[in-house]
Structure 1
């Protein structure tokens, strides 16, 4: 989980039903990464649930009911974070493992702020909403927390694979010795030097993760995907074809600065 704390307010925690209701109040019907908790409910059942959810939100202080119990108002910090999570047009799903620490969540992005949404616990229906700061703040912090290395050997080229072959080598990388893995990668790519560098990263990786950047085009989400790996000396970016009739993967060495610039460009596109 990112640990930027630029906002004076504490973390907002919402159950899935609370999150859906608040997003619905603000006009959002496209929360990413959260299954509809009311799928299959009848209208009468949803109305009953709303009363229970409303009471829970009032108890938390996230909703405030006036003295006549006719109007509800939303706490401003709750309004801001739910609005960004539910209405922003750029979002990055991020999952990684770094030296035993794991994270999975969404970064919802506007021109000014980023809100992180992740589960309170892996199998819970509770979500944390944290405001992380600006896009630049988040990109700077992310590359630092992930431990990307500053540079890489400039003579190491990008490597091309079929998706099937790369997935096979990736899954078996820890079950063979380094020399065997180097040979298998070189056979697949015809590049001995690059294969040695990638094999070392696969076998001694300190970081592995993946991300999906989604941009709302007004009707649907358009998504780009990438994965990343790093060991103590080198970072790799893994990109694959998104078309069903294509079957390729490119593994490219990438410096910390290059990854940061790429992420910044992704999150600021259409800004």
Structure 2
């Protein structure tokens, strides 16, 4: 195992347009497109990117982009790892279009630290092992989420039960959705050396004081599935770490997601 150390910290604040320019150079413009963070005017953005941002290109890389709501606060951050270094980024404020980026030498301890920090959004360590995973239609789930505030709890339970065939699990999930302590989404991405295709995996999470849910969903336009699984904070952190530190292949989601 390589020795853990951190080089001098490098920081810069970029506009959304500048971040999109950097992301395209890194090979993850598709990630920002999927997150609706692209800009039609990015090519006209001032070219003031520091070399450690603009010159960061690699044939193999991994990353996570996370959006979350914790009580009355909302946040957005990401981590991008390649052979040279790791870049942490976060939106400067909920309504801001600027992102603060920090560059450091990439070693396992940094990935572990980010995963541990991210899991602060997960409210409970409990693992409801008695409840099995539920298979749902992603499109139907999105329809229910769009009407979440106006739907009564009983109606939400019934709709989930009809869609999944799991009455008990639908009750637990509906209660979590109606009164979440935190919720959000993470887009996992990666590319292995020698492979041009960018690997993408979408995960949502819902957490209360009593229960956590991880919701893995299809990313293809022709696919329509979503798997809701009860989970613990430990398993959530483990999922993040396995993805970020599994550098030999982008097939890791089949093992850890």
1:244 partner SS: coil
- Once the two structures are TM-superposed, the CA of residue 242 in structure 1 deviates from its matched residue by 2.9
Matches within 5 A, 1:66-215: 79-80=51-52, 82=53, 87=58, 89-110=61-82, 114-121=86-93, 126-131=98-103, 134-143=110-119, 145-215=120-190
Gaps of 5+ in 2: 1-5, 33-37, 249-257
2:122–2:212 contact (8 Å) kept in structure 1: no
Q: Give the equivalent residue in structure 1 for 2:232.
A: 255
Q: Which residue of 2 aligns with 1:13?
A: 13
Uncovered stretches (5+) of structure 1, i.e. residues with no partner: 1-5, 58-77
| Aligned ranges 1:208-247 → 2 under 5 Å | 208-217=183-192, 218-247=195-224
**What is the TM-score when the length of structure 2 is the normalising length?**
0.73
Q: Is the 8 A contact 1:97 1:103 kept in 2?
A: yes
Report deviation, 1:178. 1.9
Secondary structure in structure 2 of the residue aligned to 1:160:
strand
- The alpha-carbon distance between structure 1 residues 163 and 187, as it changes in their structure 2 partners (threshold 3 A), is same
TM-superposed CA distance for 1:108, in Å, is 0.9
Largest Rg, 1 or 2: 1
8 Å contact 1:16–1:37 — kept in the other structure?
A: no
For residue 238 of structure 2, give the secondary structure of its aligned residue in structure 1: helix
Give the distance between the partners of 2:186 and 2:80, measured in 1 at CA: 13
Note the C-alpha offset of 1:176: 2.2
Which ranges of 4 or more aligned residues in structure 1 deviate by more than 6 Å?
16-21
Per-residue deviation, 1:169: 1.9
Relative to structure 1, is the Cα distance of residues 86 and 20 closer, same or farther in structure 2, using a 3 angstrom cutoff? Answer: farther
TM-score (norm 1): 0.70
Equivalent residues, number: 229
